[in-house]
């Protein structure tokens, strides 16, 4: 669905490239996470992919066609959820959807139904200028999917959302994948990436440092250990090798004799891996 | 067409939801038209010397009407820039160029209608249908010029208002040419309005005004083209 080969982009008046010779492929039906700290090149890559930036080097194919061969109809096939809300403040949520919807040459999903999916049905007739950032972000999301595009780009889709609404949006993103849509997700929230993405790429200083599935990365970079916390006067903690854990006498004794509080395997978090691989923090 | 009507309806709603905008788009032009129709003839009766300047006064009032339409559209564009809506529009099948042309087109059509109405008031019968329409089109071109100039050279509505005042002064400056010597007046020819005013003045005295019309089209087109490019560079780069 997305094929990027040797992509290089340098902003005018800048000596160093913002995106430096990156390559990746995203098959249909995958959520691909693009992770990196601010200024790493995430948004630049997304802007190139959605044709907001030109003058790049390298080959980009989207939906089987070279990016430069697409005309304006390209935007009928993609949906973009921008990092910052961008709506007409003087129009209501519903009017905004009708306004933007008027530009598409394909059937639109029922706006009220979509607003209800993101918990905005009661606010459909409220002016967007009265919305909180979280409400605007949810409206951003609805606008991105209202024309039922095959390829979706989301930039920090849960930014500014409370946990309930962040959950809603994440569920809807998963629903889009289930419906066969391909999703390019730009974020620096590792937890979201871990939960949503089939594969992730770490980008630092314009270069991709690593691409794999979150599961594989966590296994590859984690310690094969089990940590047990139990109460014995005070909270105590012990670690055991994961290999042969079923026959580990110490581990079995704790399970049988102690008041066990928690048991965790010691796979790495994406944050840990990011720091390990890139030598820099995400935040 | 249906889509255009839908967009125009939503645009109208946005205008009606802001007092300053609907005042400048509907009330101010209505007042100007009433003044040209009723107040000006009454004043001319009381102060006959004004009769010599009737056409010039009506033309300046027309300019005022058309620039106020441009101001309304510029205010909308400034809001849209602040709200990052123009970025969202760049990721739509319509393209931001088409959207801008639609916006400027709507403004120009309204400006032509207002200008035509103003130039149809008593005292300008000598214009004739074709010349009146041509003149209305030329005066209406100040609407998109105002829109683009304000949206390019100001960052918000307050700055926009200041730029509007400055631009209005520049646009009425060519009126001074009617009180200047024969060659000195051409120094004001860099303002496109100069050629529109002189085109109407020529037609009203029965001269063809072909050169003035050509220069008006050329200068308006040039200024519009430059402003359109500047606006796009300012907003999208």
Contact list, A99 vs chain B (CB under 8 Å): 6-7, 10
User: What's the pLDDT score for residue A179?
Assistant: 92
CB contact under 8 A, A72 and B93: yes
Interface of B with A (CB under 8 A): 3, 6-7, 10, 13-14, 17-18, 79-80, 83-85, 87-95, 237
Please give the ipTM for the structure prediction. 0.78
Is the pTM above the cut of 0.90? no
Span B5-60, pLDDT tens digits: 777 888 888 888 888 888 988 898 899 999 999 999 999 999 998 888 899 999 99
Nearest CA in chain A to B94: A103
Chain A residues with CB under 8 Å of B80 CB are: 88
Across the interface, which of B6, B79, B91 has its CB nearest the CB of A89? B79
- Identify the pLDDT of residue A280: 67
How far is residue B197's CA from residue B192's CA, in Å, rounded to a whole number? Answer: 9
Residues on chain B touching A73 (C-beta within 8 angstroms): 93
Question: What pLDDT score does B96 carry?
Answer: 76
Output Rg (C-alpha) for chain A, integer angstroms. 22
Instruction: Select the residue of A73, A86, A89 nearest B93 (Cβ to Cβ).
Output: A73
Confirm if B124 and B55 have CB atoms less than 8 A apart: yes
Chain A: residue nearest B15 by CA?
A: A90
Question: Which residues from chain A sit within 8 angstroms of residue B85, using beta carbons?
Answer: 86-88
Those residues of chain A that have pLDDT short of 70 are 280-283
| Minimal Cβ distance to A103: which of B17, B83, B92 | B92
pLDDT at B186: 81
- The partner residues of A25 in beta bridges, in order of sequence, read A3
Amino acid B237: pLDDT: 61
DSSP H helical ranges for chain A: 42-49, 74-77, 93-101, 111-117, 133-145, 163-178, 190-196, 214-221, 249-257, 270-278
pLDDT tens digits, residue range B109-149? 999 999 999 999 888 888 889 999 999 999 999 999 999 99
Average pLDDT over residues B92-99: 81
Q: What is the mean pLDDT of residues B78-105?
A: 84
What residues have CB less than 8 Å from A100, skipping those under 6 apart? Answer: A143, A146, B88, B92
- Compute CA distances A83 → A142, A145, A160, A164, A271, whole Å: 14, 15, 10, 19, 21
**Mutation site, B15, B20, B92, interface A, largest A CB count within 10 A:** B92
Q: What percent of chain B has pLDDT over 90?
A: 46
Partner-chain residue, chosen from B14, B87, B93, that has the shortest CB–CB distance to A90: B14
Query: CA of A201, closest CA in chain B: separation in Å?
Result: 24
- Average confidence (pLDDT) over B143-159: 90
Q: In chain B, pLDDT over 70 holds for what percent of residues?
A: 98
| Domain parsing of chain B, residue ranges | 2-236
Q: Do B88 and A50 touch (CB under 8 A)?
A: no
Cβ–Cβ gap B85/A87 under 8 Å: yes
Q: In a mutagenesis test of the A interface, which of B5, B82, B83, B96 is the best target, namely the one with the most A β-carbons within 10 Å?
A: B83
Lowest mean pLDDT among A271-280, B212-221, B223-232: A271-280
pLDDT of the residue at A103: 85
Strand partners, A65: A62
Contact criterion met (CB < 8 Å) for A76 and B95? no
pLDDT, residue B80, reads 84
User: In 3D, which of B55, B156, B81, B10 has the Cα closest to residue A103?
Assistant: B10
Q: Are the Cβ atoms of B88 and A143 closer than 8 angstroms?
A: yes
Residues from chain A contacting residue B90 (CB–CB below 8 Å): 52
Q: How far apart are CA B86 and CA B151, in angstroms?
A: 12
Spacing of C-alpha B12 from chain mean position: 19
Q: What pLDDT does B21 receive?
A: 86
CA distance A145 to chain B (A): 12
Count of Cβ atoms closer than 10 Å to residue B80 Cβ: 23
Residues of A with CB under 8 A from a CB of B: 12, 50-52, 72-76, 78, 80, 82, 84-91, 95, 98-100, 102-105, 127, 143
Q: Which residues are within 8 A (CB) of A138 and not within 5 positions of it... i.e. 6 or more apart? A: A118, A119, A120, A161, A165, A168, A169
Angle at B85 between CA B103 and CA B150, to 5 degrees: 55
Question: What pLDDT does B91 receive?
Answer: 87
Question: Residue A4: what pLDDT?
Answer: 93
Q: What angle do CA A116, A158, A272 make, to 5 degrees?
A: 150
Give pLDDT tens digits for A171-192.
999 999 999 999 999 988 888 8
Q: Is the distance from CB of B195 to CB of B216 less than 8 angstroms?
A: yes
Interchain CB distance below 8 Å, A103 and B94: yes
Q: Please give the average per-residue pLDDT across B200-215, as a whole number.
A: 90
CB pairs under 8 A between A and B: 70
Residues of B in contact with A146 (CB under 8 A): none
Residues 6+ apart with CB under 8 A from A177: A29, A30, A31, A183, A198
Beta bridge partner(s), residue A155: A186
- The chain-wide mean pLDDT, for chain B, equals 88
């Amino acid at each position: 669905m997305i094929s990027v080969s040797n992509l290089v982009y340098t902003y005018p008046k800048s000596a160093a490239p913002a995106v430096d010779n990156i390559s990746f492929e995203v098959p249909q039906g995958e959520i691909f996470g693009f992770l990196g700290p601010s200024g790493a090149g995430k948004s630049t890559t997304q802007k190139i992919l959605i044709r907001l930036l030109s003058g790049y080097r390298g080959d980009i194919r989207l939906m089987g066609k070279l990016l430069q061969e697409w005309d304006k109809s390209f935007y009928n096939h993609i949906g973009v959820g921008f990092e910052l809300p961008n709506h007409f403040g003087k129009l209501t949520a519903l009017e905004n959807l009708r306004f933007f919807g008027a530009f598409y040459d394909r059937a639109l999903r029922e706006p009220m139904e979509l607003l209800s999916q993101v918990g905005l049905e009661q606010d459909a007739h409220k002016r967007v200028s009265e919305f909180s950032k979280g409400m605007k972000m949810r409206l951003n999301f609805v606008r991105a999917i209202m024309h039922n595009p095959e390829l979706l780009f989301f930039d920090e889709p849960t930014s500014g959302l409370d946990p309930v609404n962040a959950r809603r949006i994440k569920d809807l993103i998963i629903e889009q994948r289930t419906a066969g849509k391909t999703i390019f997700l730009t974020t620096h929230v590792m937890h979201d990436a871990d939960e949503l993405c089939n594969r992730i790429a770490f980008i630092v200083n314009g270069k991709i440092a690593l691409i794999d599935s979150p599961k594989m990365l966590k296994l590859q970079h984690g310690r094969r250990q089990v940590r047990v916390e139990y109460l014995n006067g005070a909270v105590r903690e012990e670690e055991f090798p994961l290999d042969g854990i079923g026959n580990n006498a110490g581990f079995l004794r704790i399970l049988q004799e102690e008041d066990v509080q928690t048991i965790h395997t010691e796979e790495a978090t994406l944050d840990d891996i990011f720091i390990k691989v890139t030598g820099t923090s995400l935040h | 067409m249906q889509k255009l009507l839908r967009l125009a309806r939503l645009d109208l709603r946005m205008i009606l939801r802001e007092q300053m905008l609907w005042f400048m788009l509907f009330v101010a032009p209505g007042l100007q038209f009433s003044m040209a129709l009723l107040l000006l003839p009454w004043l001319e009766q009381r102060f006959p010397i004004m009769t010599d300047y009737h056409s010039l006064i009506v033309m300046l009032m027309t300019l005022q009407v058309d620039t106020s339409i441009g101001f309304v559209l510029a205010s909308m564009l400034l809001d849209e820039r602040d709200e990052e809506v123009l970025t969202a529009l760049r990721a739509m099948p319509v393209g931001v160029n088409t959207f801008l042309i639609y916006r400027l087109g709507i403004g120009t059509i309204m400006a032509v209608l207002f200008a035509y109405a103003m130039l149809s008031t008593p005292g300008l019968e000598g214009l004739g249908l074709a010349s009146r329409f041509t003149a209305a089109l030329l005066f209406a071109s100040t609407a998109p010029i105002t829109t683009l100039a304000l949206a390019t050279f100001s960052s918000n509505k307050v700055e926009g208002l200041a730029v509007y005042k400055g631009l209005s002064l520049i646009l009425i400056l060519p009126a001074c040419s009617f009180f200047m010597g024969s060659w000195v007046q051409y120094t004001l020819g860099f303002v496109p309005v100069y050629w529109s005013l002189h085109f109407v003045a020529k037609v009203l005295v029965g001269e063809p005004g072909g050169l003035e019309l050509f220069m008006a089209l050329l200068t308006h087109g040039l200024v519009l083209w430059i402003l359109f490019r500047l606006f796009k560079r300012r907003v999208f780069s």
